Structure 1
Amino acid sequence: MRYIRGGWQSTKAQFPVVIILFLYQLLWGVFLYRLINSAIIPLLQRYPDPAPSELSRLLFFIEGQLDLKYSQEVHQYLWLLAGMLLLRLVLTPLIQAGVMYGLRPDTQDGAGLVFFQGIGRLWKPVTLFYIIELILVMAPGYWLFPKLLDLLVKGIQSGGSPLLYAAMYILGWLIYGYLIHQLLLFAQFGYLFGAGIFSGILIYLRRFLPAVGISLLLGAVTLLLFGSFSTASWIWTGFAALILQQSYPFIRSLLSIWHISSQYHLWDEKK
């Protein structure tokens, strides 16, 4: 809790950055909403449910496969989605660089300006760490994707244990991705703030339980708020529900910076 309280003080000092991240998440959400509303919903409305016969459902899937191969409109949507994903991959390490730079004790004033200074000064090493993380996290997919696809197909056909095994593989992959992310986060602390990469990794290994405890506590807060907001939006439909749903990206941005700041305070005390 001491590290979480220290992380909250650092988060308050970076409140303009929270606003910037909120606007970024909001714009990304608007793009996904427009894409789903214009491309995916019209497709789902054509799905024959209930189907007059099994043949009509089969024709729906055959038409979808032909559209994926030959339809120019579908290809435009796919290229647009791929371009936006690539843009997000480029922007994510830049945002991380700005947040990291704001953690330094001598850069607490003028957090909004410090954020952009951090992008200019730290984007290269942070981008390198981000690429390494992507490679390490996605590498098991070379073996897992075929296995998961096979299990999902068997589970859809027969149900039962194949879907359970697929869920266990996915859960293990998520835990592995979290551990890699945390390990490289502490390695970044060591590299960016002059203590050394291996020093950061060693601190993470020695203080593994407090680091996981910080993630679990703040993760529980995130799930609690998300569940409360979703439940409230179902009960109070209309404009109140819209405000609650649109405020969640702000809460998520706040908790994301709070988590990084809390982990930084753990590293800073032990370095």
Structure 2
Amino acid sequence: MFSYIKSGFRSTLNQPFSVLVLFLYRFGWGVALYKLAQSYILPILHRYPNVEGLEAQSHLFLAEAQFVLLKTDVSHSVLWLLAGLLVARMLLTPLLNAGLLYSLSNPHYNAGYRFVRGIKELWKSYALLYAGQTLLTLLPLWWILPRMKTAFLSARTYPEMASELLPLLALLLGYSFVVRLLFLYLQLGRASSRSMGRSLGIALQSLPMMLGVAVLLLLAASLCSLAVLGSTIAWAGFWMLVLYQAYRFIQTLFSVWGIASQQEIYRTRAER
């Protein structure tokens, strides 16, 4: 297991162009969401009554906000903007996946060339695979959402509600995690010109190793995130802002590292 992680890390270091592109994409996405929150949420917060004000003022603020949201169309522009951002993300994700996975599967080409070539050659098939992954990920909601609604309405206390909802959420997250990994192997197969049946067989045969590597790297990335979060609480200032932006790069590195480790598993099993 650790040999795949080490090989994946070495492969990640050979992907400077892909890592840089994904980092700039994440950074740009973060800036867009920050500007959106700054434009719409901060003006609302400025209208919130003073902490030392009367409790009636807070109730009046909430009643006014509820009236504006439900009885006017002021939220429509925000919802349309969020929908546009979501569509843009869904369109860009298959393109970036195509460039990254083709680059990992064809290290003999020039770094920038193989990334662009992967997008040109694979974007259509990757878009279809991404649509299938999204559909399968959302499919269990028709079964889970009614049960979550029932648990929410029938619970008398917050601990009781949590005991009903958390297992359902954990089940949904675990299912989504496995679906994402299976479709990753289908994408790796497409990048290396192997059939979907062959790639799915490799994924099922490698399922314990695949999950083990993914969980280990996820835990490492989570520990890194907790360390950065703790630093932001204990140490605020300019250098903390620099550290947070550097963490975005580390986060991207972990993401590529996880995919590269899975590619090493796929390549090894495919060559047997």
- Asked whether the two chains share a fold, i.e. TM above 0.5, the reply is yes
Measured after TM superposition, the shift of residue 60 of structure 1 is: 4.4
Q: Please give the alpha-carbon distance, in whole angstroms, between the structure 1 residues aligned to 2:52 and 2:203.
A: 54
Preserved CA contact (<8 Å) 1:94 1:126: yes
Measured after TM superposition, the shift of residue 77 of structure 1 is: 1.6
Equivalent position of 2:248 in the other structure: 249
Query: In structure 1, the residue corresponding to 2:75 is in which secondary structure?
Result: helix
Preserved CA contact (<8 Å) 1:14 1:112: no
Q: Please give the alpha-carbon distance, in whole angstroms, between the structure 2 residues aligned to 1:237 and 1:149.
A: 40
- Aligned pair count reads 268
Identity over aligned pairs, percent: 33
Measured after TM superposition, the shift of residue 68 of structure 1 is: 2.8
What RMSD, in angstroms, separates the aligned Cα atoms of the two structures?
A: 2.3
Preserved CA contact (<8 Å) 1:7 1:258: yes
Q: Please give the alpha-carbon distance, in whole angstroms, between the structure 1 residues aligned to 2:169 and 2:239.
A: 35
Query: In structure 1, the residue corresponding to 2:115 is in which secondary structure?
Result: helix
Preserved CA contact (<8 Å) 2:104 2:263: yes
Question: Any residues of structure 2 matched to 1:36-115 within 5 Å, and which?
Answer: 36-47=37-48, 52=54, 57=59, 60-105=61-106, 107-115=107-115
Q: Unaligned regions of 5+ residues in structure 1, if any?
A: none
Equivalent position of 2:188 in the other structure: 189
Measured after TM superposition, the shift of residue 235 of structure 1 is: 2.1
Q: Unaligned regions of 5+ residues in structure 2, if any?
A: none
Measured after TM superposition, the shift of residue 151 of structure 1 is: 3.1
Equivalent position of 2:263 in the other structure: 264
Q: Please give the alpha-carbon distance, in whole angstroms, between the structure 1 residues aligned to 2:204 and 2:86.
A: 33
* Structure 1, 197-206 or 70-79: larger mean CA deviation: 70-79
Equivalent position of 1:35 in the other structure: 36
Listed one character per residue, the Cα deviations across residues 108-158 of structure 1 (whole Å, up to 9, x for unaligned) are 443123212111111011111100000000111123234324434555x63
Measured after TM superposition, the shift of residue 194 of structure 1 is: 2.6
Q: Please give the alpha-carbon distance, in whole angstroms, between the structure 1 residues aligned to 2:153 and 2:55.
A: 22
Query: In structure 1, the residue corresponding to 2:104 is in which secondary structure?
Result: coil
Preserved CA contact (<8 Å) 1:68 1:75: no
The one-letter amino acid of 1:143's match is W
Query: In structure 2, the residue corresponding to 1:182 is in which secondary structure?
Result: helix
Listed one character per residue, the Cα deviations across residues 3-55 of structure 1 (whole Å, up to 9, x for unaligned) are 11221122111112111111111111111111112212333454566885579
Equivalent position of 2:127 in the other structure: 127
Equivalent position of 1:25 in the other structure: 26
Equivalent position of 1:171 in the other structure: 170
Query: In structure 1, the residue corresponding to 2:217 is in which secondary structure?
Result: helix
Given the two structures, how large is their TM-score scaled by the length of structure 2?
Answer: 0.89
Equivalent position of 1:147 in the other structure: 147
* Structure 1, 252-261 or 187-196: larger mean CA deviation: 187-196
Preserved CA contact (<8 Å) 1:13 1:108: no
Preserved CA contact (<8 Å) 2:48 2:58: no
Q: Please give the alpha-carbon distance, in whole angstroms, between the structure 2 residues aligned to 1:47 and 1:264.
A: 51
Q: Please give the alpha-carbon distance, in whole angstroms, between the structure 2 residues aligned to 1:164 and 1:42.
A: 37
